[in-house]
Amino acid sequence: MRILENLEPNDVFYYFEEISKIPRPSYQEKAISDYLMKFAFEHHLEAKQDYLYNVIIIKEATKGYENEEPVILQGHMDMVCEKISSCNKDMTKEGLDLVVEGDFLHAKGTTLGGDDGIAVAYILAILASDTVKHPRLECVITVSEEVGMDGARGVDLSNLKGHTLLNIDSEKEGELLTSCAGGGRLTVTLPLIRETSPEAEAMLPVMVHVHSLMGGHSGIEINKGRANAVLVLAQALIAAYAEVPFRILSINNGGKDNAIPRETTALIALPGRSLSSFKDALLRTQEAYREEYVKADPDITIEVHEAPDDVLLLPENKSALSAESTKAVLTLITALPNGILRMSDNIEGMVETSLNLGIIETDAIKLTLHYALRSSVGSAYDAMAKKCEWIAKALGAEVMRKGEYPAWEFKKESPLREKMIKVYKELFQKDIEVVAVHAGVECGLLAGKIENLDAVSIGPDMFDIHTPQERLSIASVKRTYDFILKVLETKGA
């Protein structure tokens, strides 16, 4: 029995449910890519799968649309895989548990993958239809968008005929996205010094768990003032250190660099008879944070537990850091910038430059911090990255920049934009809002592969993407699908 069988548009939700059965975290897209190729084969469509597992599917124009400009429909097949701490699902091996509540679709205990599964579902429904009128369709479904747009960077578009691209990777109905920030990844690595002195070995190991934060997308929701769990933990430990000179064994969160961390865990070694004082210090910090983030993140929780035996057996936890190395870790985390660095001078309320500490990892010899950087101004992006590099190196760490992608610049003349403005007005009797966004979209990279590419991005209403609270508006899915079909059906510019 299909969970979504009573939802409209039925064909769109059929394919959304089908792809939700297939695990598709970034860098593990072979299964979903193979599914797309099987779909193309069964529908007698021309298709190509490259070495990265990007898929391009071609459907020729319907009768009467042979002379219309081909349209490139584009989205990505990977998703951010996040779950609540009590969820035991292995998102690399198991599909999603879909839940319908009123107008919203979400997944039990995990992210939904509406970003960007809804684009894939729209595209498959259109390709499978015998009634939709359209020009030649060139459907480009990329991999690894969520971890640096590797698919868009590597895909070969040289055989496409179209110069008009409709990207379906936005999250707000009624908005027509026409430009976005550029971005990239920054990795900071700090060597660790561990010691096995009798004093260190006599310390009590405990787990410090920061959890119940809102989290969110580090581009779209960076302006909502939400707390970062890694920074909350580091600041709490600094406050506690003044009373209890502990040692760090490890800090990890298993997050995503483009998601604001919702939780983080540290293994700490405490001096004898100091547990009560340590807990009291963390409790005071928790209450201070709850007061500071009373609206943006009211449920910040810092808990201390006995360290499980299986955790203590891990290689990185067999010996504690030295006092100097413990201080170096906390100094590095708190000294590096995080969050919004500058608002736009050109667009009111728009973030220009930001960075997000998304992942923290510890092994036996090093601490690694992973950041997502974004800016709509190239010089500001470079200055931000260099600032991080100088601070990190001054504290004994090394920095690597990778996965950088260009900003998608606003195009003064865009027949597609004007057409979509007109069609939206006719269909819904109101104006669509033309916007820019701080989050990254693949259009910037794709524009570098197709000369004079005319591109826009749209999507239905989605909320809290990249978190287990992610939900998709069912009614908005239908309205947005109707809009896409009407744009394809409307001839000319």
Residues 6+ apart with CB under 8 A from 161: 70, 136, 138
Q: Does 240 share its domain with 352? A: yes
Instruction: Provide the domain limits for residue 446.
Output: 10-181+407-489
Q: Does 303 share its domain with 269? A: yes
DSSP class of 408: B
259-260 vs 175-180, strand pairing mode = unpaired
Query: Domain containing 155 — which CATH number?
Result: 3.40.630.10
Determine the Cα–Cα distance for residues 120 and 234; give it in Å rounded to an integer: 40
- Which one of 352, 384, 405 terminates a domain? 405
pLDDT of residue 1: 78
Q: Does 123 share its domain with 222? A: no
Q: Does 79 share its domain with 197? A: no
The three-state secondary structure class of 358 is: strand
- Which one of 347, 379, 405 terminates a domain? 405
Domain presence at residue 1 = no
pLDDT of residue 445: 94
Query: Domain containing 285 — which CATH number?
Result: 3.30.70.360
Tens-of-pLDDT digits for all 493 residues of the chain? Answer: 799 999 999 999 999 999 999 999 999 999 999 999 999 999 999 999 999 999 999 999 999 999 999 999 999 999 999 999 899 999 999 999 999 999 999 999 999 999 999 999 999 999 999 999 999 999 999 999 998 899 999 999 999 999 999 999 999 999 999 999 999 999 999 999 998 877 767 789 999 999 999 999 898 899 999 999 999 999 999 999 999 999 999 999 987 888 999 999 999 999 988 999 999 999 999 999 999 999 999 999 999 998 887 777 777 777 999 999 999 999 999 999 999 999 988 788 889 999 999 999 999 999 999 999 999 998 999 999 999 999 999 999 999 999 898 889 888 899 999 999 999 999 999 999 999 888 889 999 999 999 999 999 999 999 999 989 999 999 999 999 999 999 999 998 6
pLDDT of residue 457: 97
Catalytic residue among 145, 146, 361, 442: 145
Q: Does 68 share its domain with 123? A: yes
Residue 85 contacts residue 151 (beta carbons within 8 Å) = no
Domain presence at residue 4 = no
pLDDT of residue 380: 94
Residue 456 contacts residue 177 (beta carbons within 8 Å) = yes
Domain presence at residue 212 = yes
Give the helix ranges, DSSP H, for 270-414. 275-292, 309-312, 323-335, 378-394
Domain presence at residue 324 = yes
Domain presence at residue 2 = no
Number of domains in the chain: 2
Position 159, amino acid: N
Residue 299 contacts residue 189 (beta carbons within 8 Å) = no
Catalytic residue among 17, 18, 29, 78: 78
Determine the Cα–Cα distance for residues 150 and 131; give it in Å rounded to an integer: 35
Q: Does 175 share its domain with 270? A: no
Q: Does 391 share its domain with 431? A: no
pLDDT of residue 197: 72
Q: Does 141 share its domain with 168? A: yes
Closest to 248 measured CA to CA, from 269, 275, 278, 273: 269
Q: Look up 145 and say whether it is catalytic.
A: yes
Q: Does 85 share its domain with 212? A: no
Determine the Cα–Cα distance for residues 439 and 217; give it in Å rounded to an integer: 8
Determine the Cα–Cα distance for residues 176 and 477; give it in Å rounded to an integer: 15
Q: Does 427 share its domain with 344? A: no
- Which one of 371, 405, 439 terminates a domain? 405
Is 73 buried (19+), middle (13-18) or exposed (0-12) by CB count in 10 A?
buried
Q: Does 305 share its domain with 430? A: no
Residue 458 contacts residue 483 (beta carbons within 8 Å) = yes
Cα separations in angstroms, 95 against 3, 83, 120, 217, 462: 13, 13, 16, 22, 20
Domain presence at residue 364 = yes
Q: Does 188 share its domain with 230? A: yes
Q: Look up 78 and say whether it is catalytic.
A: yes
| Angle at 193 (CA atoms; ends 188, 197), nearest 5 degrees | 155
Residues 6+ apart with CB under 8 A from 379: none
Determine the Cα–Cα distance for residues 329 and 408; give it in Å rounded to an integer: 36
Instruction: Name residue, tokens 């797309």.
Output: 36
